[in-house]
Chain A
Amino acid sequence: MIQDTPPAEEEPIAPAEAEAGEPAAAPEPLPVAPPPPSRRPLVKRHHGIVRFAHWANALLLLGMIGSGLQIYMAFSHFGIRGGPYYPNPWDGKPFPLWARLGGWLAGGLNWHFALAWPFVLTGLLYLVYLAVSGEWRSLLFRPRDIPRAWQMQLYYLRLRKEHPPQGKHNALQKLAYTSIILLGALSVLTGFAIYKPTELHWLTALFGGYELARYWHFWAVWIFVAFIIVHVALVFLVDPASLRAMITGWYRGRFPSHD
């Protein structure tokens, strides 16, 4: 329903090799001369809802992290008063001014609670889109993706020469994008657990109580930060055309755009 080009008929093949028109048993790790970017077809890769959700999320997540670090500084420990406190490399440490949003505790709280709702709504919009469009099929990491992810990892480690076949996303991407959705859900749920520990006591109890919910909420930040760094690095190192696709929706790059 959202495809502007007919879906691929056969099993998707290793894109770089296919485009380069070289035999699969090429002696070099990868062909050196893919067709010039202008000769590749321009295909629709991302629906408007996906692009909106992506960039809104990028901004909201930065704001949530900055205001969250500001809030953390009011009590930079995890565990009930009197301790012992849970292991935390940042225990008792401040975060630099440039990383914080809100200026002081009240400002941080107001930013955090104001951005939380659009963050939740954007996430829900994205999930509904994935479900309704069927796009979840090319994104969800399933058991059958485990060996494929392993092959992809071997390729990245240069222990396998050919790029494994893939559809819109390779198996490692599926793993990353599935995990990050779960991480977003975990952040929202632990957030509510520490926002209303009395009223939502069942949710708080699910995460091991108020102090532990706050602890998981904090660790989620560092997984997000690691994801963002790797995600942005891979965009520029592996597939810069995907940046254009996430802005305009249209893709002219080395990978298939559909499963």
Chain B
Amino acid sequence: MTDRPLSRRDLLRLGLTAGAASLAGACGWQGGRLMPALEGASRLNDWVGEKVFLSHRHLAKDYPISARTPERNFPAYTISQRLPQLQDPASWALEVGGKVRKPMRLTMEMLQALPRVRYTIKHHCVEGWSAIATWTGAPLSSVIRLVEPTDEARYIRFDTFDANYYNGWDLESALHPQTILAYAFNDRPLEPAHGAPLRVYSSTKLGYKLTKFLTRMTFTSEKPGGYWEDQGYPWLGGV
């Protein structure tokens, strides 16, 4: 090249500028004073996710059983250090209450007497991994119809016996035909690793929304938080 544009000083200046920019831009920075703006953007994305992307008509692809992920490769996370297990499974029941006309206590027999949904679908974890398994359970919509939510009910809060894990859902996703209260995994009764005796499963949300070890379902008018969501994870977690 004929031009000699780049003196040593220019190079130094360029390097310093680029270095400062990348330091300010990255360096594991969480956001500092920009955090409220980030949370606002996250709420906007939740709104778009629910109002634009979520469709009740669309069902996730049902895979053949041969597509199942080997069970030893299907991760199972809990908040508790030790796997949460019921002392007396026979006395377990799901409490359903809050803004409903007919609060209920649903035993496993009652849940299994409800319509049954069984599908083999892909699980999407927020971390980026995916895996396929078969889940069987009662549609959450049939439980919702049973308890008759009042007009004020807009959200559902799920409580668990896994330490302080809890989760909040929008009613729209809860009513999706592929959102179920699952009691079986790969055609066997749900095991403790996957949230026995009852967990939420759905094609509409990421894994951290699919609450395990259920004890209670509460219909609310205020948006419930969630164990991970309170720490910054997107609230809707829609896929």
Contacts and interface: CB of A to CB of B under 8 A. Distances in A.
18 contacts: A80-B129, A81-B75, A97-B28, A99-B26, A100-B26, A101-B25, A101-B27, A106-B232, A106-B234, A110-B39, A110-B232, A110-B234, A195-B239, A201-B61, A210-B130, A214-B128, A236-B6, A240-B10
A31 B58 CA distance: 66
Contacts of A201: 58, 60-61
A113 B3 contact: no
A59 interface: yes
Interface residues of B, number: 56
Contact of A114 (B11, B38, B49, B239): B38
Query: Nearest 10 A-B pairs (CB), nearest first?
Result: A114-B41, A82-B73, A240-B5, A106-B232, A74-B127, A103-B30, A75-B128, A81-B131, A66-B26, A199-B53
A105 B237 CA distance: 14
B55 interface: yes
Interface stretch (B82-90, B118-126, B142-150, B154-162): B118-126
B203 A198 contact: yes
A215 B237 CA distance: 21
Interface in A64-82: 66, 70-72, 74-75, 77, 80-82
A113 B2 contact: no
B73 A199 contact: no
B45 A113 contact: yes
A211 interface: yes
Interface in A173-213: 195-201, 210-211
A82 B41 contact: no
Given A99-B26, A198-B204, 19 more contacts: A62-B21, A62-B22, A62-B25, A75-B125, A81-B129, A98-B26, A103-B29, A106-B231, A106-B232, A110-B31, A110-B232, A113-B45, A196-B239, A199-B55, A199-B238, A199-B239, A210-B124, A210-B130, A236-B6
Contacts of B37: 114
Interface centre among A34, A71, A107 (most CB of B within 10 A): A107
* Residue picked from B25, B28, B234, most chain A C-beta under 10 Å: B28
A209 B55 CA distance: 20
A32 B54 CA distance: 64
Determine the interface band of chain A, counting residues with CB < 8 A from chain B.
35 or more
Interface in A109-140: 109-111, 113-114, 117
Contact of A71 (B30, B41, B54, B128): B128
Interface string B227-239: 0100111100011
Contacts of A66: 25-26
B115 interface: no
Given A113-B234, A240-B3, A240-B5, A101 B26 contact: yes
A236 B5 contact: yes
A113 B75 CA distance: 26
Q: Which residue among A70, A75, A200 has the maximum number of chain B CB atoms within 10 Å of its CB? A: A75
Interface of B: 1-3, 5-6, 10-11, 14, 18, 21-23, 25-31, 37-39, 41-42, 45, 49, 53-55, 58, 60-61, 69-70, 73-75, 122, 124-132, 203-204, 228, 231-234, 238-239
Contact of A113 (B42, B54, B61): B42
A110 B41 contact: yes
A98 B22 contact: yes
Contacts of B42: 110, 113-114
A80 B125 CA distance: 11
Contacts of B239: 195-199
Contacts of A103: 28-30
**Residue from the set B26, B37, B69, B233 with the largest chain A CB neighbour count within 10 Å:** B26
Most A C-beta atoms less than 10 A away, residue of B29, B70, B128: B128
Given A82-B70, A236-B10, A59 B25 contact: yes
A238 interface: yes
A23 B238 CA distance: 66
A237 interface: yes
